[in-house]
Amino acid sequence: MKILVTGATGFIGSAFSRLALSRGHSIGGMMLPTEKTPLGLEPNERTTWFKGTLAEPPWHEIKKFKPEVCVHFAWIATPGVYLESPENENYFHWSREFVRRTCELGAKRIVAAGTCIEYRITNEKLSEDKTPIELTTTYARWKNALRIALEEDSKKSGFGFAWTRVFYPYGVGEHPARLCSSIIQKLGRGEKIELKTPNSAKDYIYIEDLASAFLTVLEKQFEGTINLGTGIGIAVKEIAQTLGQMMHRPELIKEIDPPQIDPLGYVVADASKLRGLGWKPANDLRRGLGKLLANVLPSSSR
């Protein structure tokens, strides 16, 4: 397939692009004018790069690429900013128009990245068909608005559409402020780590497995809403303790007493639909953390 990828230089987009290329697909990647080509994704006969933005896409170059499908990752994702940024509304409008124009150029299928925090968070696994929507952040509200708009547009225009609710990706290439990388860096410096919400459990999915999930949804031509998670909840303390053992610094891991209450204390996918497509993760927690650890810290620092 000839796949147009927005946000192709990002954490998820670059991992997806590498995997798609390894499976014989062609990639047309969108990148900002100021960005550099990611390692392993240099231009060649199956990798084309377009410089532009969602607001001002390079339509002439995209038209020459002749995309058959589009995987849409591009959105504001700045840690500490994105959840309530007014830019979320802009990304909604830019995204809808981008999809419309892309389909006019011949794309027959759209896969777009949503978020697990579109759901009302309960103490049960989150189901696409059963769990209510509860939009508590600006980010989630505009993501959900895009889902509704693209569902309507797909019915009118006839393109296939899948909306993915992404859970908690981690792994090589993640922002250094994210949980796993921040713990690795602190342990590497010999700093004590106090876990404020040690029992908080999330559905952590290794980045390569998430890329595989996206590609499975695309290749299987799934339509509708689908969770991209493992279906397994992992507590913060399990991640910290595992890294403490791997880095031979378990004594640095402490829990505050009493622990704080996390309003997002259990965010785990019902992964039945995804696994029903034949997907399964290739990396358990220890394997995934090992890959990240090898990338974040050289062996001499561990």
Homologous superfamily of domain range 2-166:
NAD(P)-binding Rossmann-like Domain (3.40.50.720)
Q: Residue 300: its pLDDT value, please?
A: 40
Q: Residue 79: its pLDDT value, please?
A: 84
pLDDT tens-digit map of 133-190 = 999 999 999 999 999 999 999 999 999 999 999 999 999 999 999 999 999 999 999 9
CA 247, 250, 251, 254 dihedral sign is positive
Q: Residue 296: its pLDDT value, please?
A: 84
Domain borders along the chain are 2-166, 169-203+232-268+282-301
pTM equals: 0.96
What is the Cα–Cα distance from 217 to 204, expressed in whole angstroms? 19
Domain 169-203+232-268+282-301 matching CATH 3.90.25: the answer reads yes
Spatial CB neighbours of 216, under 8 Å, sequence gap ≥ 6: 222, 274, 277, 278, 279
Q: What are phi and psi of 276, to 5 degrees?
A: -65, -20
Please give the share of the chain, as a percent, with pLDDT higher than 90. 92
pLDDT tens-digit map of 38-96 = 888 999 999 999 999 999 999 999 999 999 999 999 999 988 899 999 999 999 999 99
* Tokens found for residue 266: 């259990």
* pLDDT above 90: residue 299: no
Q: Residue 40: its pLDDT value, please?
A: 86
Mean pLDDT along residues 114-129: 96
Q: Do domains 2-166 and 169-203+232-268+282-301 have the same CATH topology?
A: no
Residue labelled with tokens 């509704």: 148
